[in-house]
């Protein structure tokens, strides 16, 4: 009489017969710890650099109205295109995150954000500012924002709402820091560069 085989032995024999079959069990989220909360801090900073930066465009608008020979409606297109690019490119960055390319996408976004910011400081005409701050910065923000926020939810279960909310408050952080920096630095540092005098002359 053949011996009975329990369920565990059956699973082991199946895995032995098919060693190439991958295991479908995934490790549970840590739901805390240094690495998980570090994702929240980084997500908070990314949101501050994306939505916080975009929410501060009113300060840029006021400065550009005083330095550019263009109407307020034309200048507002810079901020409008920046927000549009942020949301539109998020569709691409979200799909890339699903494909496992989150780190590469965020790195590319950071490079574009820095490039657009530095090129804005060198711009002397409306279209240069439009392309640098409106388009380049907006695309960089769109590449950074969605992957950073999406990955936070994979590190938490019970504290997921708290973690995502803590990251989302980065908008307020950026909305406080950027206007203060711009209002303080532009009158003190901006006027010392020749580009500022070129803008004033139109």
- Alpha-carbon Rg for the chain, nearest whole angstrom, is 24
What six digits make up the tokens of 146? 């969605």
Q: Which residue has the higher pLDDT, 188 or 115?
A: 115
Residues 97 and 121: their CA atoms lie apart, in Å, by 31
The pLDDT assigned to 27 comes to 73
What is the DSSP track for 2-57?
A: PPP--HHHHHHHHHHH-TTPPP---PPP--SSHHHHHHHHHHHHHHIIIIIHHHTH
Contact indicator for 46, 106 with CB cutoff of 8 Å: yes
Grade residue 5 by pLDDT with cuts at 50, 70 and 90.
very low
Q: CA nearest 141: which of 98, 180, 181, 170?
A: 170
The pLDDT assigned to 201 comes to 45
The pLDDT assigned to 33 comes to 85
- Checking if the pLDDT of 21 tops 80, the result is no
How far out from the chain centre does Cα 179 lie? 19
Per-residue pLDDT tens over the stretch 65-116: 888 888 999 999 999 999 999 999 999 999 999 898 999 999 999 999 999 9
- Checking if the pLDDT of 192 tops 70, the result is no
């Amino acid at each position: 009489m053949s011996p009975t085989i329990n369920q565990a032995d059956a699973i082991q024999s199946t895995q032995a017969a098919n060693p190439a079959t991958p295991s479908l069990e995934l490790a549970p989220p840590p739901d805390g710890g240094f690495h998980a909360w570090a994702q929240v801090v980084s997500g908070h900073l990314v949101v501050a650099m994306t939505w916080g930066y975009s929410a501060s465009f009113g300060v840029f608008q006021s400065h550009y109205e005083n330095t550019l020979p263009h109407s307020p409606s034309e200048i507002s297109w810079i901020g409008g295109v920046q927000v549009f690019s942020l949301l539109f490119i998020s569709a691409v960055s979200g799909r890339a995150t699903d494909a496992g390319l989150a780190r590469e996408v965020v790195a590319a976004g950071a490079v574009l954000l820095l490039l657009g910011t530095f090129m804005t400081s060198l711009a002397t005409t409306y279209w240069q500012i439009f392309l640098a701050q409106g388009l380049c910065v907006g695309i960089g923000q769109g590449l950074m924002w969605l992957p950073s926020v999406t990955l936070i939810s994979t590190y938490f279960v019970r504290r997921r709402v708290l973690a995502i909310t803590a990251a989302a408050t980065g908008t307020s952080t950026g909305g406080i820091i950027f206007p203060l920096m711009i209002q303080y630095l532009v009158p003190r540092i901006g006027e010392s560069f020749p580009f500022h005098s070129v803008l004033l002359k139109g």
